[in-house]
Structure 1
Amino acid sequence: MDVIKRKVAVEELQYGMFVCELDRPWLETPFLFQGFLLETDEQLETLKRYCKYVYVDVMRSNASAAVPRCQDSAELSLSLGPDTAPLTRGPVELSRTWVSERNSRPHRAERRFVYSPLTRLNHPRLGTVTYSDVATVEEEVPAAREHTAGLERLVDEIHVQILAEPAFDVQRVHSAISEMVESIARNPDALLLLNRLKLKDAKAFRQSIYVATLLMAFGRHLGLPKEDLVVLGEGGLFFDIGKVKLPPRVLDTQRLLTPEELKVFKSHVAIGEQLLGGVRDFPSAALAMVSQHHERENGSGYPRGLVGNQISLFGKMAAIVDCYQSLCQGYMGSAPMAPHSALQMLHELAGSAFHPGLVEQFIHCIGVYPVGTLVELQTGEVAIVFAQQRGKSRQPRVLVVLDPHKVPYAKPFVLDLAEGPTTAAGEPYRIVKGLEDGMYGIDARQYF
Structure 2
Amino acid sequence: MIKKIRVEQVRVGMYVHDFNAGWLDHPFARNRMKIASDEELHKLAASGIREIFIDTARGVDVADAPTREEAAAATEVSLLALDTAPRSAVRVALADELTRAKSVFAEGTRAIRTVMEDARLGRQLEIEAMSPVVEKIAASIIRNSNAMMSMRRLKHLDDYTYLHSVAVCTMLAAFARELDMELADIHSMALGGLLHDIGKARVSAAILNKPKRLTEKEFIHVKSHVVLGADMLRQMPGVPPLAFAVLELHHERFDGTGYPQALSGEQISVAGRMAAIVDVYDSITSERCYQAAISPAEAIRKLFEWSHHHFDSQLVQRFVRSVGIYPVGTLVRLESGRLGIVVEQRESSLLTPVVRVIFDARRNYYIPPENVDLSRPLGAGGGDRIVGHESPATWKIELDRFL
TM-score, with normalisation over the residues of structure 1? 0.68
SS where residue 301 of structure 1 aligns?
Answer: coil
Match of 2:386 in 1: 431
Distance across 1 between alignment mates of 2:219 and 2:204: 12
Of residues 259, 262, 278 in structure 1, which corresponds to 2:235? Answer: 278
Displacement after TM superposition at 1:248 (Å): 3.2
Match of 2:120 in 1: 163
Query: Where in structure 2 are the equivalents of 1:201-350 lying within 5 Å?
Result: 202-252=159-209, 254-329=211-286, 335-350=292-307
Of residues 385, 397, 416 in structure 1, which corresponds to 2:342? Answer: 385
| CA separation of 1:447 and 1:341: change in aligned 2, threshold 3 A | closer
Q: Say whether the 8 Å CA contact 1:98–1:349 is kept in structure 2.
A: no
Match of 1:183 in 2: 140
Distance across 2 between alignment mates of 1:327 and 1:158: 25
1:267-317 CA distance string (max 9 Å, x none): 111111112221222222211111111111111111111111111111000
Distance across 2 between alignment mates of 1:332 and 1:413: 34
Q: Does 1:364 align with 2:330?
A: no
SS where residue 285 of structure 2 aligns?
Answer: helix
Of residues 333, 339, 353 in structure 1, which corresponds to 2:310? Answer: 353
Q: Say whether the 8 Å CA contact 2:274–2:315 is kept in structure 1.
A: yes
Of residues 131, 143, 146 in structure 1, which corresponds to 2:103? Answer: 146
Match of 1:77 in 2: none
Distance across 2 between alignment mates of 1:323 and 1:238: 16
Distance across 2 between alignment mates of 1:138 and 1:253: 39
| CA separation of 1:366 and 1:199: change in aligned 2, threshold 3 A | farther
Distance across 2 between alignment mates of 1:194 and 1:331: 18
Q: Say whether the 8 Å CA contact 1:396–1:416 is kept in structure 2.
A: yes
Distance across 1 between alignment mates of 2:199 and 2:89: 36
Q: Say whether the 8 Å CA contact 1:395–1:418 is kept in structure 2.
A: yes
Distance across 2 between alignment mates of 1:207 and 1:138: 24
Match of 1:395 in 2: 352
1:196-234 CA distance string (max 9 Å, x none): 223566442232111111111111111112111111111
| CA separation of 1:301 and 1:382: change in aligned 2, threshold 3 A | same
Alignment root-mean-square deviation, CA = 3.0
Match of 2:131 in 1: 174
The letter for the 2-side match of 1:240 is: D
Displacement after TM superposition at 1:252 (Å): 4.1
Greater per-residue helix proportion: 2
| CA separation of 1:101 and 1:437: change in aligned 2, threshold 3 A | farther
The letter for the 2-side match of 1:447 is: F
The letter for the 1-side match of 2:255 is: N
The count of aligned residue pairs is 334
Distance across 2 between alignment mates of 1:202 and 1:408: 31
1:97-126 CA distance string (max 9 Å, x none): 7766454697366989xx9xxxxxxxxxxx
Distance across 2 between alignment mates of 1:236 and 1:178: 13
Distance across 1 between alignment mates of 2:294 and 2:400: 19
Structure 2 unmatched ranges of 5 or more: 1-44, 56-64, 79-86
Query: Where in structure 2 are the equivalents of 1:53-202 lying within 5 Å?
Result: 101=51, 103=53, 107=66, 131-165=88-122, 167-199=124-156, 202=159
Distance across 1 between alignment mates of 2:296 and 2:48: 15
Structure 1 unmatched ranges of 5 or more: 1-94, 116-129
Distance across 2 between alignment mates of 1:419 and 1:344: 26
TM-score, with normalisation over the residues of structure 2? 0.75
- Decide which moves more: 374-383 or 219-228: 374-383
Match of 1:75 in 2: none
Distance across 2 between alignment mates of 1:97 and 1:137: 43
Distance across 2 between alignment mates of 1:181 and 1:137: 15
Distance across 1 between alignment mates of 2:185 and 2:394: 37
Match of 1:443 in 2: 398
Match of 1:15 in 2: none
| CA separation of 1:104 and 1:256: change in aligned 2, threshold 3 A | farther
Greater Cα radius of gyration, structure 1 or 2: 1
- Decide which moves more: 250-259 or 329-338: 329-338
1:305-334 CA distance string (max 9 Å, x none): 111111111100000011112222367955
